């Protein structure tokens, strides 16, 4: 038997053999429970299916089928017909079932409701009376004889459509076999032929072993079932039209089975996903605690014992300010990496809240990034950050450093933490405006704030310049300035500065460190881990 499923003519897909059960295509567990003709089998791909469907669609001549044939093939054509009525007979071993072509249509069995609160089904009424074909399926029980069949058929079928066997009786035991099929005796029958079985006596029972027979005949226009409407002929449409109107029982079974399998797979995937989420929650997410890239090299370089110590964390932009300043001034110092969730006693001695950055100079300590930058400048060691001897220009630098802390830094985090796209755009426009104000106050040629060299304002701004491209761009679609513009040249100068590069970790570190802020997981910004965390958790403005 072919391993493929029924083709398009049967209304069943033929590109998936996984639904076929067993070598004969029979799903033993599958049965059509709501059939008007008793339990029907689901046989996915019986032999000569196309020929069987065409013959059972046309019913040009009466057809007699074995019980096995009927149960195998009728589920492939039950979409063509709609059951209308069943006629039972007293003390007679058969039952007649009358079916209309489904395109005949019928009035709705349930009147429409005017209740506005009642949910209405979405359906389109099919045009009625598109076809007049009616068929009668007679179910003969095993105790029925040839005489029972002959008498019943004579009373309901025009004699012109009967096949005579010499005594003007219908041939009750004729069986329909499409090309290539065989009957119980192994003889081959031509397609569409109705051949009498001479071995069956008139008064003998139809079958041994409890088998039934079924006859199918078209009754429209021939007086069948008491109708004399005079409308004869076959369907006024094609088999494909019937398949478009409704799928047959086998196709519906396959669709339901596929849907159930998909549903089961989704439940399985959901279960696996839930288990993965539970496993992920059981293992708290860890964040970067050590610098990477060039920053890591600088940590190793600055790990030797020194009287001046900087306590910092790799992801903190406020720490990077002080770190860049130490590198620019080239003051000897010791860098101590701090796990923000496990503060060392030395840090807590400087700041009981454990905030970074913090400096320990000898036995004296201090914190807050802007204060520490002023302290390093007041040491009068190394390269000056503020222009010496020019009080007005120094005040100018302090004024615009204050602008960075009061406007640019808070605007940066508003863009980053906002979840609403419209508000993100508004916040991004505000950040752009704040940056433009700073650019307009800078040296006209630059590339830095005061000209060709990095100084106090550049250091205040540098950590957030780095995070524009490493955080805001991937998370919020930040648009970088045009190359060659005043801002573009300033950003490029900061990015390429050797002291900035020496304190910068890999891009991945910043992406992963800021993920919690982009998802508004502020609860993970534990108290006393940084100035930023405290400001977020308390609702205060950023320093």
Within 8 A by CB and 6+ apart from 232, the residues are 220, 221, 222
CA-to-CA distance for 119 and 481, rounded, in angstroms? 56
Q: Using alpha carbons, select from 390, 388, 494, 384 the residue that is nearest to residue 439.
A: 494
CA-to-CA distance for 543 and 541, rounded, in angstroms? 7
pLDDT at residue 523 is higher than 90: no
Structure tokens that stand for 363 in this block:
């036995």
Summarize the chain as % helix, strand, coil (round to 5): 45, 15, 45
The tens digit of pLDDT for each residue in 302-313 reads: 999 999 999 999
Asked whether 457 and 493 are in contact (CB, 8 A), the reply is no
Q: What are phi and psi of 326, to 5 degrees?
A: -65, -40
Domain boundaries defined on the chain? 8-104+127-258, 293-538
The tens digit of pLDDT for each residue in 400-455 reads: 999 999 999 999 999 998 888 889 999 999 999 999 999 999 999 999 999 999 99
Angle at 147 between CA 143 and CA 148, to 5 degrees: 55
Domain 293-538 bears CATH identifier 1.25.40.10: no
The tens digit of pLDDT for each residue in 75-113 reads: 999 888 988 889 888 888 899 999 899 888 766 656 666
CA-to-CA distance for 291 and 188, rounded, in angstroms? 85
pLDDT at residue 232 is higher than 60: yes
Comparing 66 with 458, which gets the higher pLDDT?
Answer: 458
pLDDT at residue 258 is higher than 50: yes
Comparing 176 with 463, which gets the higher pLDDT?
Answer: 463
Q: Using alpha carbons, select from 468, 462, 495, 261 the residue that is nearest to residue 369.
A: 462
Place of tokens 């070598």: 23
Query: Average pLDDT in the 38-53 region?
Result: 85
DSSP string, 42-80: EESS-TTHHHHHHHHHH--S-EEEEHHHHHHHGGGTTTT
In sign, the C-alpha dihedral spanning 528, 529, 530, 535 is negative
pLDDT at residue 336 is higher than 60: yes
Structure confidence at residue 40 (pLDDT) = 75
Comparing 505 with 157, which gets the higher pLDDT?
Answer: 505
pLDDT at residue 371 is higher than 70: yes
Query: Average pLDDT in the 284-308 region?
Result: 88
Residue 223: Cβ-neighbour burial (10 angstroms; 0-12, 13-18, 19+)? middle
The confidence band for 2, taking pLDDT boundaries of 50, 70 and 90, is: very low
Comparing 309 with 72, which gets the higher pLDDT?
Answer: 309
Query: Average pLDDT in the 131-144 region?
Result: 88
pLDDT at residue 15 is higher than 60: no
DSSP string, 210-271: S--EEEEEE-TTTTGGG------SS-SS-HHHHHHH---HHHHHHHHHHHHHHHHHHHHHHH
Structure confidence at residue 41 (pLDDT) = 78
The confidence band for 344, taking pLDDT boundaries of 50, 70 and 90, is: very high
Q: What is the reported pTM?
A: 0.49
The confidence band for 286, taking pLDDT boundaries of 50, 70 and 90, is: low
CA-to-CA distance for 80 and 261, rounded, in angstroms? 28
């Amino acid at each position: 038997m072919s391993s493929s499923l029924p083709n398009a003519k049967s209304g069943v897909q033929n590109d998936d053999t996984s639904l076929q059960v067993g070598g004969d295509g029979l799903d033993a567990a599958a049965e059509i429970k709501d059939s008007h003709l008793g339990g029907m089998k689901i046989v996915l791909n019986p032999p000569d299916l196309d020929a069987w469907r065409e013959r059972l669609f046309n019913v040009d001549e009466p057809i007699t089928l074995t019980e096995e044939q009927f149960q195998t093939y009728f589920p492939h054509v039950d979409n063509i017909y709609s059951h209308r009525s069943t006629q039972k007979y007293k003390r007679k071993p058969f039952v007649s079932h009358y079916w209309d072509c489904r395109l005949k249509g019928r009035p709705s069995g349930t009147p429409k409701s005017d209740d506005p609160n009642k949910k209405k089904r979405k359906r389109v009424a099919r045009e009625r009376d598109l076809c007049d074909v009616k068929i009668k399926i007679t179910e003969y029980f095993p105790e029925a004889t040839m005489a029972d069949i002959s008498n019943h058929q004579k009373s309901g079928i025009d004699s012109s459509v009967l096949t005579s066997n010499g005594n003007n009786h219908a041939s009750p035991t004729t069986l329909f076999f499409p090309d290539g099929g065989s009957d119980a005796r192994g003889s081959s029958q031509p397609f569409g032929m109705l051949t009498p079985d001479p071995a069956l006596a008139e008064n003998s029972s139809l079958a041994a072993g409890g088998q039934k027979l079924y006859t199918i005949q078209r009754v429209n226009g021939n007086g069948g079932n008491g109708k004399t409407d005079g409308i004869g002929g076959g369907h006024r449409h094609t088999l494909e039209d019937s398949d478009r109107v409704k799928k047959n029982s086998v196709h519906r079974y396959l669709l339901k089975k596929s849907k159930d399998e998909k549903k089961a797979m989704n439940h399985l995937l959901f279960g696996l996903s839930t288990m993965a989420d539970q496993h992920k929650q059981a293992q708290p997410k860890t964040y970067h605690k050590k610098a990477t890239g060039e920053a890591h090299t600088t940590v190793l370089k600055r790990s030797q014992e020194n009287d001046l110590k900087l306590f910092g964390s790799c992801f903190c932009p406020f720490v990077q300010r002080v770190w860049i300043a130490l590198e620019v001034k080239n003051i000897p110092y010791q860098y101590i990496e701090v796990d923000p969730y496990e503060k060392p006693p030395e840090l807590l001695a400087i700041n009981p809240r454990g905030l970074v950055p913090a400096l320990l100079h000898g036995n004296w300590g201090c914190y807050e990034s802007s204060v520490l930058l002023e302290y390093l400048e007041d040491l009068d060691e190394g390269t000056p950050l503020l222009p010496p001897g020019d009080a007005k220009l120094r005040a100018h630098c302090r004024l615009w450093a204050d602008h960075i802390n009061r406007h640019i830094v808070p605007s940066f985090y508003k863009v980053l933490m906002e979840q609403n796209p419209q508000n993100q755009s508004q916040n991004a426009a505000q950040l752009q405006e704040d940056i433009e104000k700073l650019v307009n106050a800078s040296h006209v040629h630059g590339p830095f704030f005061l000209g060709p060299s990095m100084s106090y304002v550049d250091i205040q701004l540098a950590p957030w310049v780095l995070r524009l491209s490493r955080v805001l761009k991937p998370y919020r679609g930040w648009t970088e300035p045009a190359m060659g513009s005043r801002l573009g040249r300033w950003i490029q100068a900061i990015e390429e500065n050797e002291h900035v590069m020496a304190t910068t970790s890999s891009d991945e570190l910043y992406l992963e460190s800021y993920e919690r802020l982009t998802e508004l997981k502020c609860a993970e910004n534990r108290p006393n881990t940084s100035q930023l965390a405290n400001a977020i958790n308390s609702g205060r403005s950023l320093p």
